[in-house]
Amino acid sequence: MSAHDSAVTRWLRTAPPVLFALYGGLAGFGAYSAMYAFRKPFTAASYEHIANWPFAIDFKVALVIAQVAGYALSKVIGIKIVSEMPPARRAVGILTLIGVAELALVGFATLPAVVGIAALFLNGLMLGMIWGLVFGFLEGRRLSEVLGAMLCASFILSSGLVKSAGEALILSGWASERWMPAATGLAFTPLLLLAVWALAQLPPPDARDEAERAPRVPMGRDQRARLFATYAPSLIALIGVYVMLTALRDFRDNFAAEIWRELGFAGEAGIFTVSELPVAVVVLVSMGMLIRVRDNRAAVFWNLALIALGFALLGLATAAFQFGLIGPVAWMIVIGAGLYFAYTPFNALLFDRLMATASVAGNAGFLIYVADACGYVGSVALLLFRSFAHVSLDWSNFLCAVCYGACGLGLAGTAFGALAFRHTVDAQERALEP
């Protein structure tokens, strides 16, 4: 215990697990939810009448591609920065990056449309490292499943919430389409400051945490290379799966307004939040239950089972919708649940448990950012394909086609990744036998 610990930190060291989980989970949820207010609100607008836009590509599609490209580059940079970031610098890093992202949104509102594309690229470049910095406060603990589930619920629920807030600002006349993203971010700034301060009060993992989940330390280049080489076959297969998930998730998220409009829900701002709330609850409960699995190797396989379940739901729900067995709202909710059952473990719990089984000291942030860097390249590729490959499908039918493809390829990739992981761990155990 340090003499410089705050009263909150001292209380958290001895707090009951339920209160610690509630405090840490809500702090992480609040911080990442606030970040979403600087990233996603612009997607709620249509930007159909933009003066002096000289290119054939749709202005909103160009905005989405620019921001996702910046986000993808940020993930590549984050492989080094997030994995090497000392804990004491995380809070300042989060606030600095989001502050620059807000300035980029002000530039988007005030600069010519062509320059606004660069502003969205800068916005994505700043925000891509926030997840790893926030999760760094929560990983490597006995309660990481609960903390990680609450954190992951933020990107399920908050995307719809901030888009609802952004569309409400436009519909009420309080902000124009160009000013709405910056205004929404400003409205969420008090929550951001409070949540980041709360995260900074968390004490580091204690001795029992380290005994059960392995110590978490900054990773150098050699440690990163050794870890990846050890699990390369499994990681390559699973990262390939994650590329599909990221592309699907970003497409569904960024063009939710267009999809809902085709499904008959134009002008209903609340539909973004209503459709994601049950998804957040189901995924939160399912992820949190993994805390009961004490064996780290078994927990990796349970995470992979949830990923497979998610892929199956994508295909089954889409078939049920196309055959008229369920309506559009039920379809969007179920594919949302399937998507996040598969997507969420990659962002926290799967790699946290894998690190606990590894023989290399380090942190989950490295693996998360390797996967994310590849995943967002896939997201950009899908957007470019949809825009330039002369695809004749409308938004909702294109989403159906992608769901079917992800279901088939995702189940195969997950099965191969599970078998490869089992082979690697079995080989490690045989090498330790006398």
Confidence of residue 106 (pLDDT cuts 50, 70, 90): very high
The total of other beta-carbon atoms located within 10 Å of residue 133's CB is 26
The residues near 339 (Cβ < 8 Å, ≥ 6 apart) are 245, 248, 249, 252, 310, 314
Q: Could you give the percent of the chain with pLDDT greater than 90?
A: 40
- On average, the pLDDT of the chain sits at 87
Q: What's the average model confidence in pLDDT over 32-55? A: 86
Task: Give the least confident one: 66-70, 129-133, 251-255, 319-323.
Answer: 251-255
pLDDT of residue 46: 80
Q: Does position 189 have pLDDT exceeding 60, yes or no?
A: yes
Residue 346 has what pLDDT? 86
Q: How far apart are CA 345 and CA 213, in angstroms?
A: 16
At 155 the pLDDT is 76
CA distances from 21 to 17, 25, 214, 396 (A): 6, 6, 19, 39
Does position 387 have pLDDT exceeding 70, yes or no? no
Q: Tell me the pLDDT tens digit for each residue of 298-311.
A: 989 999 999 999 99
Residue 402 has pLDDT above 60, yes or no: yes
Question: What pLDDT does 190 receive?
Answer: 96
Give whichever of 103-107, 257-261, 268-272, 376-380 has the largest mean pLDDT. Answer: 103-107
| Ordered domains of the chain (ranges, CATH) | 11-213 (1.20.1250.20), 218-433 (1.20.1250.20)
**Which residues touch 298 (CB under 8 Å, ≥6 apart)?**
none
Cα atoms found within 13 Å of the Cα of residue 177, Cβ hemisphere only: 14
Kindly state the greatest CA–CA separation across the chain: 74
